Amino acid sequence: MREILVVLHSGRETNRRTAATVAHRLASSGVRLRVLGDEWAEVRNGDLPAEMTPRVVDGRPGCAEGAEMVLVLGGDGTLLRAAEMARPVGVPLLGVNLGRVGFLAEAEQESLDTALDAIIDGGCAVEERMTLDAVARVDGEVLARTWALNEATVEKSSRERILEVVLEVDGRPVSAFGCDGVLCATPTGSTAYAFSAGGPLVWPQVEALLLVPSNAHALFARPMVIGPDSEVAIEVDPDGPPAVLDCDGRRTVVLPPGARVELARGATPVRMVRLDGQPFADRLVRKFDLPVRGWRGAARTSGSR
């Protein structure tokens, strides 16, 4: 039997009603849901045939194994949570935005029927998004290993202290400065925390890493775009305060003074479903409500090239 995993932001009644609608629509087409019990507890889907009753799973990394895809009903935070379940087993994500901006989502609530048609018909286009692998070390010993889809940040953990760091790229020191933190982001994450910190917007098709200092006390602490296969290290001053490594706002590691965080392109990408091939520029305009009044477009004549 065909099966998809649904990850739901269940905190709103409207979202729960949408989830029930999804369950009935897919069940009528022979697609059963795999769900997380705590999310689905208040979803009213009791009149489904017994064989189509959603199957409850535990939400651990890899619990999407065997599913055709992961359907995410919520915002960006819900999709980042779902990525933990899908990434280890290579199952693609399809996000339907039920929140506010929802930049990672492929569809909006008003286009939910189109998304469900694509699931039922099968054959959706899938693209791979870069990830980051992060290793935290203390005195050469591994403290933790983790990963990120959007960004990995090394940030101060004490509000009243400045975090002193040394930034290294490809084994060479680049700059040392005091700051609130340093972000290393993927192109996917360029529209998230890195954007708020003053970093550039990077089209998802570009393979690159972004380095964005946050509130740095230095003349040379500008955002940098570096090669996708470059290796980055952020060293925390051994005589300064502790810090924290935060990945996607979901996985954190406490860093003692003198810790070193090494960042590189992730070995395992996140796979995401594409529905309509909409240009990234159109998504920027829609999500950020950018002013485009007055645009006339490029002149198109028979002699133009």
In angstroms, rounded to a whole number, what is the distance separating the alpha carbons of residues 245 and 199? 19
pLDDT bin (cut points 50, 70, 90) of residue 299 is low
- Alpha-carbon radius of gyration of the chain: 22
What's the mean pLDDT in 186-195?
95
- In this structure, of 24-33, 43-52, 145-154, the range with the lowest mean pLDDT score is 43-52
Q: Is the pLDDT of residue 5 over 60?
A: yes
- Tens digit of each residue's pLDDT (9 = 90 or more) over 15-36: 999 999 999 999 999 999 999 9
In angstroms, rounded to a whole number, what is the distance separating the alpha carbons of residues 47 and 57? 21
- Tens digit of each residue's pLDDT (9 = 90 or more) over 238-269: 999 999 999 999 999 999 999 999 999 999 99
Catalytic residue, from 76, 121, 229, 248: name it.
76
Beta bridge partners of 128: 271
pLDDT computed for residue 305 by the predictor:
43
Which residue in 173, 169, 195, 172 sits closest to 183, CA to CA? 195
- 243-247 and 151-156 strand pairing: antiparallel
Residues 167 and 173: beta-carbon distance below 8 Å: yes
pLDDT computed for residue 304 by the predictor:
45
Indicate if 170 belongs to the active site: no
pLDDT above 90 coverage of the chain, percent: 79
In eight-state DSSP terms, residue 10 is T
Q: Is the pLDDT of residue 117 over 60?
A: yes
What's the mean pLDDT in 150-175?
94
Please state, rounded to an integer, the average pLDDT across all residues of the chain.
92
14-to-19, 26, 32, 60, 298 alpha-carbon distances in Å: 9, 18, 21, 26, 42
Q: Tell me the residue type at 184.
A: C
Which secondary structure element, helix H or strand E, spans residue 210, and what is its range? strand 209-214
Angle between helices 112-121 and 13-27 (to 10 degrees): 30
In angstroms, rounded to a whole number, what is the distance separating the alpha carbons of residues 214 and 152? 13
pLDDT computed for residue 8 by the predictor:
96
Q: Is the pLDDT of residue 62 over 80?
A: yes
80, two tokens: 């980042």
In angstroms, rounded to a whole number, what is the distance separating the alpha carbons of residues 255 and 147? 16
In angstroms, rounded to a whole number, what is the distance separating the alpha carbons of residues 59 and 41? 14
pLDDT computed for residue 72 by the predictor:
97
What's the mean pLDDT in 225-239?
97
What's the mean pLDDT in 269-286?
88
In angstroms, rounded to a whole number, what is the distance separating the alpha carbons of residues 21 and 26? 9
Residues 6 or more apart from 42 whose CB is under 8 A from it? 10, 16
pLDDT computed for residue 298 by the predictor:
73
In angstroms, rounded to a whole number, what is the distance separating the alpha carbons of residues 163 and 12? 39
Residues 228 and 170: beta-carbon distance below 8 Å: no
251-to-73, 81, 304 alpha-carbon distances in Å: 21, 10, 52
